[in-house]
Structure 1
Amino acid sequence: MAECVSPILDIVTRLWDCAANRTQNIRDLQENLNSLRDLKRELENISKDVAGRADFAEQQQYSVRTNQVKGWLQIVQLKLKEVDDILQTGAEEIQQKCLGSCSPRHCCTSYKLGKQAIKEINVVQEIIKKGHFYVVADKVLPPMIDEMPMEKTVGMDSMFDEVWKCVEDHKARIIGLYGMGGVGKTTLLKKLNNKFLETSHNFDVVIWVVVSKEVKLEKIQETILNKIGIPKEMWIDKIGTILI
């Protein structure tokens, strides 16, 4: 007889524990939803901070947000939508209570919502932990050549071919173009610049620098250094002098 009673008691105990856990989830539904709502607000604030840092970094020359930041922000957006749905459903369920704060009309639904809220709390906490980035953007190499906008040229082919031969001549270190204003010197230079985009060559980088009548050496140096991707803090000393 004792052998029969023991399994029955074990089953009853398990059923009681299961029922107690379910009842606890139902009672704690409001508390869990409140906790989930607080975590959602925290996640929103952190994601705004991360996105703001990434946006600021990308405004700097040749910087792009890391793949980790991109992926994390995408996960955040999806999770916030899921959390909103749970909070909305939970609020509607709580409004349907008819027999007191711990006896919702649809106990099964409340039980499932309670478990889902607890699960989402854990998930959101993990996402928050992964949202503390030391680096949000990486430096990328600048393009070797920037295409210059220009209209189709007429009557410039012979002059262009002559200058291009000088470019291909490794003995020629400097090529000078001179002439009156408006004869097409700048247009010819643009055509030469764009030629590098469609032709194989031995140059590491092509830099376009505009020099005005009032020469500002620092401005020229800054253009060159930015083009070759040297960080500003590496070429400006504490008093703001360009170090070259």
Structure 2
Amino acid sequence: MARIMTIAAVLAVLLIVATIVVFAFAAARRGRSGDDAAPLVRVTRAVGVVWLVFATIGALANLLIPLLSPAVSITMPIQEFWPQLPSTVDLQTEATRVAGGFTTVTLAVEGLSAVARVLWAISQMVAWAIPGVVALFVVVACSRLLAGAAFAPVVAKMAATTGAVVAFGGVAAQVVGDLAGSIASTQLFGSKGGSWEGDYAGIDNVFDAWVPAATVQISFPFWPIAVGLGFAVLAAVLRSGSRLQHDVKGLV
């Protein structure tokens, strides 16, 4: 889940930067030579459309697969774990572990509860949808720029809406995904008992040595809020540009 959210964050930031650069470049070219940057804007819009389609397909697929597949690939937290080898095993490695271990695992699991499946499906869908919403904003902004209305009110409104979606959706996707993973961890690793046969030198408890223990871990990300604030600032700039443009037309 963390990997998907990181990718979503990177894509969102890249799309914001791309939009700002396109607007700035177009304005600079118009001010310098009187021509426009239509080819660049059209390419950016085309990339946004492709990105939007890809994100939409990904969001739908990641919503349906966890709900319909027998096995669900899900990331879940575990108590810090490192497998313990019997004392008779001699393993030669270039580096030596001093401390630490695994804290999360990604596994294909069957038999998950409906609650875990639904929560995981929602989190994955939202994580994929966020870059799609940003791409939609890029498409709308570029379309307005090509129409000669870069500071149209719809662009500012779209920027504000996109910021809200990124902020609330990013936080929700992370929290809901962590909740689903914690439920899965409890169901998979929350053993109620067991036994083993045979003795293993240096190992008193096979379960402690070889089986991770369940845990609950819910994290609260701050990057969606930061990106959302960035969109809010962009929306304010666009609204200011719209008012300035309106005033200039009034003077003319």
Q: TM-score, normalised by structure 1?
A: 0.31
Q: Which has the higher strand share?
A: 2
Q: Which has the higher contact order (CA 8 A, sep 6+)?
A: 2
Q: Which has the higher helix share?
A: 2
Structure with max Cα Rg: 1
Q: TM-score, normalised by structure 2?
A: 0.31
